[in-house]
Amino acid sequence: MNKNKEIFLCAICNIESGTCGEDCKFCTQSVKYKADIQRYKKKAIEQIVKEAKKAKENSANGFCLVTAGRGLNPKRLEFVCEAARAVKKENLGLILIACNGTASVEQLETLKEAGIDAYNHNLETAQDFYSQIVTTHTWEERYKTCQNVNKVGLRLVCGGIFGLGETQEQRVSMLKSIASLNPMNVPLNFFHPNEALPLVENSIDRKQAFELIELARKMIPNAMKIMVAGGRELMFGEEQYKIFDKGANAFVIGDYLTTQGKTPKDDIEELEKLGFKIRRERD
Ligand code: SF4
């Protein structure tokens, strides 16, 4: 294990949860699947700020404001801006990321003015597989938003999810598409099954998942971070810190959007025990 490797940690703050009308078959936040999750419209701004401070204490260098839903509308945009301004005011030195679905150039410029540094929009899966996973919007719409992010000069965070029944060729195709957008950070998610969802099982095994991290690193060499996001614990179990040998250098700390993660304390202790350096300040 390369112990001198610098590791980046990112915390997620679900500021609007489980209210999405889209039908992505892997997502418990869709109202169509009735998953047993917390659903709410707007998290209180004080709570968001509290979570940002907690993220900083937990050694995160990124903090992501996530809303469920197809994209930004005027009300949601104003809410995200309000949250961004409140977190920025605390001067915590966090990279502030927004993840709010489809966004126009104008909307992204507004977020930038409010203090957002980066925008996360995942391609999710391959262009030619997308319609089997989502019918309510298109892959092309997602790609366009990522182009918009680059246009306004926000840092692009763009990845996807594996294990939805896609072929190996389709995994490669998605990684190629991601590479064409030149993202700064590539979050790799691994499907976390839930009985309420139409997809019942994760179609990849651990060995394949490790190989996919290696492949992502190879195909997207310029990305500052290859991040293992949702599904880390379930996919990699007791071998989860081996992701750093395969080319990953970042992961999500704390809870995910609708599933629990390891406690930050456990992760940090384990990383320090293994001798990794955690990058605590902004990059
Ligand atoms: S658009 Fe986003 S929040 Fe909505 S169902 Fe799809 S992945 Fe989930």
Of 25, 65, 66, 70, which is best to mutate to test ligand 1, by the most ligand atoms within 8 angstroms of its C-beta? 70
Instruction: Evaluate if residue 143 carries a pLDDT over 90.
Output: yes
Least confident of 30-39, 107-116, 149-158, 255-264: 255-264
Coil, strand or helix: which one is 120?
Answer: strand
Cβ of 24 closer than 6 Å to ligand 1, yes or no, is: yes
Cβ of 29 closer than 6 Å to ligand 1, yes or no, is: yes
Closest CA to 68 of 141, 26, 19, 133: 19
Nearest atom (ligand 1) to Cα of 27:
8
Distance of CA 200 to the CA centre of its chain: 22
Of 30, 67, 135, which is best to mutate to test ligand 1, by the most ligand atoms within 8 angstroms of its C-beta? 30
Distance CA 118, CA 97 (A): 5
What DSSP line would sit under 62-104, residue for residue? EEEEEE-SSB--HHHHHHHHHHHHHHHHT---PEEEEE-SB--
Mean pLDDT of 253-264: 78
Structure tokens at 68: 């469920």
Phi then psi for residue 106, to 5 deg, are: -65, -45
Closest CA to 188 of 159, 157, 218: 159
Structure tokens at 228: 């293992």
Cβ of 27 closer than 6 Å to ligand 1, yes or no, is: yes
pTM of the model: 0.96
Q: What pLDDT is recorded for position 120? A: 98
Cβ of 59 closer than 6 Å to ligand 1, yes or no, is: no
Cβ of 110 closer than 6 Å to ligand 1, yes or no, is: no
Cβ of 164 closer than 6 Å to ligand 1, yes or no, is: no
Contact between 90 and 48 under an 8 Å Cβ cutoff? The reply is no
Nearest atom (ligand 1) to Cα of 30:
5
- Atom 6 of ligand 1 has which residue's CA nearest to it? 24
Coil, strand or helix: which one is 108?
Answer: helix
Instruction: Evaluate if residue 236 carries a pLDDT over 80.
Output: yes
Closest CA to 250 of 37, 59, 48: 59
CA of 68 to the centre of ligand 1 (A): 6
CA of 246 to the centre of ligand 1 (A): 29
Mean pLDDT of 221-240: 95
pLDDT band of residue 3 (cuts 50, 70, 90) is low
Give kind and range of the element (H or E) at residue 57: helix 45-57
Distance of CA 264 to the CA centre of its chain: 17
CA of 3 to the centre of ligand 1 (A): 36
The pLDDT tens digits of the residues spanning 58-112 come to: 999 999 999 999 999 999 999 999 999 999 999 999 999 999 999 999 999 999 9
Cβ of 25 closer than 6 Å to ligand 1, yes or no, is: no
CA of 200 to the centre of ligand 1 (A): 17
Nearest atom (ligand 1) to Cα of 124:
7
The pLDDT tens digits of the residues spanning 161-197 come to: 999 999 999 999 999 999 999 999 999 999 999 999 9
CA of 19 to the centre of ligand 1 (A): 9
Cβ of 14 closer than 6 Å to ligand 1, yes or no, is: no
